[in-house]
Structure 1
Amino acid sequence: MSSEKRTRLGFVQGLAAGLALLLISGGTSGFTNAETGVAQQAGTRSAAQGGSPAESLSNAFARVAKLVEPSVVNISSEQIVRGGGASRDPFGGLLPFDFFFDIPRDQMQKSLGSGFVVDSRGYILTNDHVVKDATSIKVSFQDGRELTGTVVGMDSLTDLAVVKVNAGNLPVLKLADSDTVRVGDWVLAFGSPFGLEQTMTAGIISAKGRYIGAGTYDNFLQTDAAINPGNSGGPLVNLDGEVVGINTMIFSQSGGFQGVGFATPAAMAGNIYRQLIDHGKVTRGWLGVGIQELTPALAKSFGMKTTDGVLVSNVEPGSPAEKAGLRPGDIILSYNGNPTDDTRDLSLAVAESRVGTSAKLEILRDGKPMTVQTPVGERPAETASTTPPTERRNQGKLGLTVDDLDANSARQLNIPSTNGALVTDVEPGSPADRGGVRPGDVVREINRKPVNNVAELQSAIAGLQSGSTVLLLVIRQGQPMFLALELS
């Protein structure tokens, strides 16, 4: 178990065992009138003229609390838990707080999280993990009302969900433009930590654009405002009472808050919740390309002086990218005029593109700049890949043990043909090891030339010069990727 645990906060109470679990939450914004869309002004930035800075800040906090709290809700849900024992997290061994304790089999379990009103017709934004698999949901408001909630839609990729209650004319929080939030800006977190409803804590934005390995669309705001189990789904707001983020998770060695919390940016949440309200699901853009980071070694192999851009490792047959003429080995420099500095930038930009529109890509192909227009398709559901077998034969000069690819191995590896050489072992410290080759990889190209079997790979390796850089195209768990190997 990792010493650092990625903790999703939501209070969970097992009815039979009395086990308590808590989930954290994120932020939202100032109230708006749902009919007019005009935000009620918090007026906090001009608070307390003539007072000390501390008094001004105190007054600002109090005014934000008065504005925000009527829109913040406590969400209590029940789930039937099947399957015993603690679960391991699929993201790098960091455990969500949901799985921090063993949970008995076939047990009714209660969990507690937070949320806030985003539409006066009764729509509430929260975290997916707060209401996932819920058999019943109760939503409690500051004024004492307790209403039954139903799930309108959920999006596990961003850990967001929308719950509907049968009520109207509810006070709404406005979403801020989270892209303009600055590191160092004051923020306030609202929610129900440890079941303590209508709790507010203060802190600052510690960092932006955090990637923490939670998923494809990681782009978190980091804050030191105290968020704890039970805060999940609650708003993180600025001093105007506008939501800048949705409190979602923390890093912790103890299970409690240690100054490092993460919130989903309002800019992302706004797009997600509107789709969930309108359609009950989220539709994302898709090009149909496999991409990878352009490392210094790969950049050198492709004749580039910098690592700017994203390398195309695969183009799916029949995809929008194939129709637009994209090829493996292309380097994408920008998407609709915005630089693509890494794979996350491109993934987020494509996902947020409207299906059916056209996107302009600036690319490099064989060192020559090109502009490509590609249609944006709809992202299909992901499919699972298989784990390859391991055999041993044919030691190679790069530090590879390879074997010919038979039909059975190709099926297990999710590869449509038997072309290539299957890597069954990698010598520690070898060029292949340093370059990132792994057992189970299938070598399909070497220095941009096809490899159909072991004999062709060995023939190509025999002609390599010491000190050169070798560019391999391999298939890993069904996905092509380039690797650059430095020969010492």
Structure 2
Amino acid sequence: MGSGVAYRDNIVLTNAHVVGDKAQVEIILADATRTPGQVLATDTVTDLAVVRTERTGLPQIHYRTELPRPGETVIAIGSPLGFENTVTAGVVSGLHREIPGSAKQTEALVDLIQTDASISPGNSGGALLNTRGEVVGINNAYMKPITGAVSIGFAIPTSTAVDVADQLLEHGKATHAYIGASLGRVTSALDTRLGLPVDHGAIVLAVDPGGPAATAGIQPGDVIVQFADKPVRTVEDLLGHMRGTEPGQNVRTTVIRQNQEQQLTVTIGQQSD
């Protein structure tokens, strides 16, 4: 059992691991009615899936594509352990997280939202909402208590969920631009510690050996300030610009390295399910 969110009139968005390899599922709606669901497509790279329901007229929900801010109040809704319509509340604990030990080091999951709103088995695929009722993320995973963690959960940002869901509905699969770099946010504390010449951009934390970034000459410590001739002030900017590129495309990239601006060319790679 898992959770899901209405996406279109007869489409539900959920996690790929919730539907597994099933072609048919049963959906229990908030009013307790049941309807058959057909799994249209899944994407294991981002752990997202779209399901078509026989019942139409699902409510229209606003998906907020801007990332929430750390400290912002959020609400998780789902059916943890079979307790239907369960609501838990907390705050956004952090952004741009990766699940420790995860084998998926992908650009699509570089900006996971961390929250302390309680997420339990069965919450996966449910909505993470802000106080205005807007979907800001799709609940995805949590750190188990056996690890010593307390209230550490993760959600896929809405910007990623919407992009992938639309691709799955249109093409039956999702393709992800890939540059092979782990990215971080430039903060004032980081700026002071490293003596960065800029107060914005996406700092490169690591590069995949042999990946597009490494091949282009990008190094850890570089700050990407322009990508595809568009300014990069945040990690979200870079991810958004990447979604507008195609695999094989040569993209001019400006980085700051040791107080010097350098122009590099990155050949976009491809990552797909």
TM-score bracket relative to the smaller structure? 0.7 to 0.9
1:170 aligns with 2:53: no
Unpaired runs of at least 5, structure 1: 1-111, 294-303, 383-488
Match of 1:354 in 2: 245
1:182 aligns with 2:73: no
The alignment-based identity, stated in percent, is: 32
- Equivalenced residue count is 248
Unpaired runs of at least 5, structure 2: 184-193
Match of 1:223 in 2: 115
Tell me the distance in 2 between the aligned counterparts of 1:131 and 1:365: 45
Give the partner amino acid of 1:354: T
Match of 2:135 in 1: 243
**Cα distance per residue 1:32-90 (max 9 Å; x no partner):** xxxxxxxxxxxxxxxxxxxxxxxxxxxxxxxxxxxxxxxxxxxxxxxxxxxxxxxxxxx
> 8 Å contact 2:14–2:125 — kept in the other structure?
yes
1:266 aligns with 2:158: yes
State the TM-score, normalized to the length of structure 1: 0.44
- Alignment partner of 1:155 out of 14, 18, 43: 43
State the TM-score, normalized to the length of structure 2: 0.74
> 8 Å contact 2:177–2:271 — kept in the other structure?
no
Give the partner amino acid of 1:337: P
> 8 Å contact 2:124–2:141 — kept in the other structure?
yes
Tell me the distance in 2 between the aligned counterparts of 1:262 and 1:379: 25
- Alignment partner of 2:175 out of 273, 283, 286: 283
Tell me the distance in 1 between the aligned counterparts of 2:73 and 2:260: 46
- Alignment partner of 1:333 out of 202, 224, 238: 224
> 8 Å contact 1:151–1:162 — kept in the other structure?
yes
> 8 Å contact 1:284–1:353 — kept in the other structure?
no
> 8 Å contact 1:113–1:233 — kept in the other structure?
yes
Tell me the distance in 2 between the aligned counterparts of 1:202 and 1:337: 35
SS in 2 for 1:370: strand
1:206-221 aligned within 5 A:
206-213=93-100, 214=102, 215=104, 216=106, 217-221=109-113
**Cα distance per residue 1:335-366 (max 9 Å; x no partner):** 3421688xx997x4675233176633014799
Rg larger in structure: 1
> 8 Å contact 2:42–2:173 — kept in the other structure?
yes
Give the partner amino acid of 1:204: V
Tell me the distance in 1 between the aligned counterparts of 2:110 and 2:207: 21
Match of 1:379 in 2: 270
**Cα distance per residue 1:236-294 (max 9 Å; x no partner):** 1111111111111111225999422111111221111111111111112245xx6589x
1:252 aligns with 2:144: yes
- If asked which structure has higher relative contact order (CA below 8 Å, sep 6+), I would say 2
